[in-house]
Amino acid sequence: MINQNQLKTIRTVIADMTISEVSEKLKINRNRVHRYEAFIYEAPKEYLQAYAEAFGITWDTLDYLREVEEAVAKVQRSRLKR
């Protein structure tokens, strides 16, 4: 399932949308979209599912994004150790 870390990446990179555009598409307040992306509020599972479906994000794509995020984090950690 999509996780909260991926919300902004999906919105800006994959969907190329603003917070306002996402809020209109999902029919929720734009402040709520921002709060989910900024981890001010925990995004409910239903929202995460709707988000993925609204942008046609498949589970394979989400798994790939997760793998990329983990690889980037691993490289960053190894650089900090030097």
Looking at residue 39, the DSSP 8-state letter turns out to be: T
Whether residue 4 contacts residue 39, with contact meaning beta carbons closer than 8 Å, is answered with yes
Of the given ranges (20-24, 36-40, 47-51), which has the lowest mean pLDDT?
47-51
Count of the separate structural domains present in the chain: 1
pLDDT for the residue numbered 1: 59
Where is pLDDT greater, at 43 or 3? Answer: 43
CATH code of the domain covering residue 63: 1.10.260
Question: What is the extent of the structural domain holding 69?
Answer: 4-81
Angle at 11 between CA 44 and CA 22, to 5 degrees: 70
